[in-house]
């Protein structure tokens, strides 16, 4: 049995057509079903559908042999104990620094304090600002980063941007590029040794359909 972990949300939507082109058709509509383990048209391949940030954990511990996860999640996780096999070219977006359009609003005393940056990506953001010699306090949020500058929680955010519509709707603009993001196929190293014969065709067919 080969278990492939898929990230819920944006990556799932774009993974389904990729899987189907690769001849792996889920037995249920993954966007509708409440089941977390779903069989496929290939008898020995099953899918587990989990939170994006949990994919590295499932694959690292071998609960899933393969996974599809965003480069953002892999970098934030650190990626230790995972093989990054192929850039699948799906769920493409950019990790950006954003701030209130027309200035950060750091007037008076606030301008003398360190920059405050709200993000879900604490490690990536720390590294990004440190590498530029900018002192920043990172505020860890789990979502809706766009809100933070509007209510004075942070001066900037670091978040994923594709169209920029969510930023614009909240009076923010992207100012600096941190990382190009897309979804990658990852594998558990032990499974690659023990189950290579079973994994090889799955990896080959997914990699072949990448970015189409």
**Residue 212, token pair as written in the block:** 């189409």
Name which of 154, 145, 158, 172 is nearest 114 in CA terms.
154
- Contact in structure between 70 and 26 (CB atoms under 8 Å): no
Q: Among 39-47, 67-75, 129-137, 188-196, which window interacts with ligand ADP (CB under 6 A)? A: 67-75
Among 2, 4, 6, 7, binds ligand ADP (CB under 6 A): 7
Spatial separation of the C-alpha atoms in residues 80 and 133, rounded to whole Å? 26
Q: Among 65-73, 77-85, 131-139, 200-208, which window interacts with ligand ADP (CB under 6 A)? A: 65-73
Minimum gap (Å) between residue 96 Cβ and ligand ADP:
11
Spatial separation of the C-alpha atoms in residues 40 and 184, rounded to whole Å? 21
Spatial separation of the C-alpha atoms in residues 82 and 108, rounded to whole Å? 47
Residue 162 engages ligand ADP in binding (rule: CB under 6 A): yes
* Size of the residue set binding ligand ADP (CB under 6 A): 16
Name which of 40, 34, 42, 31 is nearest 9 in CA terms.
31
- Site pattern 12..41 for ligand ADP (x: CB under 6 A): ------------------------------
> Where do contacts with ligand ADP occur on this chain (CB under 6 A)?
7, 9-11, 51-52, 70, 72-73, 91-93, 160, 162, 181, 183
């Amino acid at each position: 049995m080969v278990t492939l972990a898929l990230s819920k949300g944006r990556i799932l939507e774009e993974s389904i057509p990729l899987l189907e082109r690769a001849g792996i058709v889920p037995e249920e509509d993954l966007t509708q079903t409440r089941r977390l383990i779903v069989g496929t048209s290939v008898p020995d391949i099953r899918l587990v559908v989990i939170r994006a940030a949990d994919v590295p954990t499932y694959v690292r511990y071998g609960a899933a042999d393969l996974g599809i996860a965003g480069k953002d999640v892999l970098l934030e996780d650190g990626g230790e104990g995972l093989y990054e096999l192929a850039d699948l070219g799906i769920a493409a977006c950019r990790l950006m620094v954003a701030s209130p359009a027309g200035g950060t609003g750091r007037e008076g005393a606030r301008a003398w304090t360190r920059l405050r940056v709200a993000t879900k990506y604490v490690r990536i953001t720390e590294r990004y600002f440190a590498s530029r010699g900018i002192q920043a306090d990172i505020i860890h949020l789990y979502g809706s980063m766009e809100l933070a500058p509007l209510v004075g929680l942070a001066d900037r955010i670091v978040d994923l941007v594709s169209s920029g519509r969510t930023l614009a709707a909240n009076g923010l603009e992207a100012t600096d590029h941190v990382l190009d993001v897309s979804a990658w196929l990852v594998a558990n190293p032990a499974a690659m040794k023990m189950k290579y014969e079973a994994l090889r065709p799955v990896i080959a067919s997914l990699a072949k359909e990448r970015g189409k």
